[in-house]
Structure 1
Amino acid sequence: MAGTEPYENALDAIPGAHPYPRSSRYHDAEIGVHRQPDGTEVRYTKSRLLPPITDDPEETQPHTVSTGERPDLLGRRYFGDPGQWWQIADANPVLDPRELTAEPGSEIEIPLAGNFPQGERRV
């Protein structure tokens, strides 16, 4: 991952270092602890709030959906990782990520943050 310190990537490989890798949408989510009646502690991820949707053209770029596209394919295309589809979902007002690519010809927003490949910009 470009821009990430080598020691931070190494932490992702250590079990228990943190519950989610830095590439996960849950990496910054708060972890809660529930204590069961027998005293057993159960860790869980608290609700993740979505970032506000932006209309700032410097933060996103439009993408016209083509037949056969899927959120994971767009994640790979724009971020180099199919698991990053969630960044595209967060930038668009959809409940189900499949809505992003369900209608060919529709326009969705692609966030420019992260490892955006410079050659992929489309206008």
Structure 2
Amino acid sequence: MSSPLTAFLQLGLVPPVSFPTDSRYYSYSTLTYTTPPSQSGPGQSVTYLARRIVPQPGTPNYATVAQHTVVQGDRLDLIAAKYLGDPLLFWLLCDANGALRPEDLIATPGTTIAITMPQGVPGGTSV
């Protein structure tokens, strides 16, 4: 027995997930896995995001546009707004600096953050 949400998705009553252009998941598709059938019924459909591969920091995939030295009280969203023109692009800073947790980038005053733009991503402002 499928869930009501699955039924709505299959009937096209729920729109597919789309992410805004400033999302780290923009242009990534969703995939569906169907579990094996069991005694209680047919397999369940599970929708998930396609794997996102992040280029290593320092590769030609990133163009450095500025450097920022962290000071006490810095917020990553405000740094992104200042240098990239959009606070929601903080994830670009995480990717380019190899940070799995955003708070790691601003945890230590005096740390220098590379402000970069990956190839193919529009936006950014000159500083």
Do the two structures share a fold, i.e. TM-score over 0.5?
yes
Tell me which residue corresponds to 1:44.
48
Greater gyration radius = 2
Structure 1, unpaired ranges of 5+: 1-14
TM-score by length of 1: 0.70
Q: Deviations over 1:36-61 (max 9, x none)?
A: 433443321132111221266x8112
Q: 1:17: Cα distance to partner?
A: 5.8
> Matched residues in 2 for 1:89 and 1:22: separation?
17
User: What's the TM-score, normalizing by structure 2?
Assistant: 0.68
Structure-2 change in CA distance of 1:106 and 1:45 (3 Å): same
Alpha-carbon spacing, 1:24–1:103, altered in 2? closer, same or farther (3 Å):
same
Residue 85 of structure 2 corresponds to residue 77 of structure 1: no
Deviations 1:63-95 (A, max 9, x none): 111111111111221222211100010110222
Query: Paired residue for 1:6?
Result: none
Match of 1:88 among 84, 90, 93: 93
Q: After the TM superposition, which parts of structure 1 deviate over 6 Å for at least 4 consecutive aligned residues? A: none
Name the counterpart of 2:104: 99
Distance 2:75 2:33 in 1: 37
Identity %: 33
Uncovered stretches (5+) of structure 2, i.e. residues with no partner: 1-13
Aligned residue pair count: 104
Taking the aligned partners of 2:43 and 2:77, their CA distance within structure 1 comes to: 41
Letter of the 1:51 partner, please give it: P
Report the equivalent of 1:10. none
Q: Give the C-alpha shift of residue 96 in structure 1.
A: 1.1
Superposed, 1:24-39 pairs within 5 Å as 24-36=23-35, 37=37, 38-39=42-43
Q: Distance in 1 between matches of 2:70 and 2:117?
A: 17
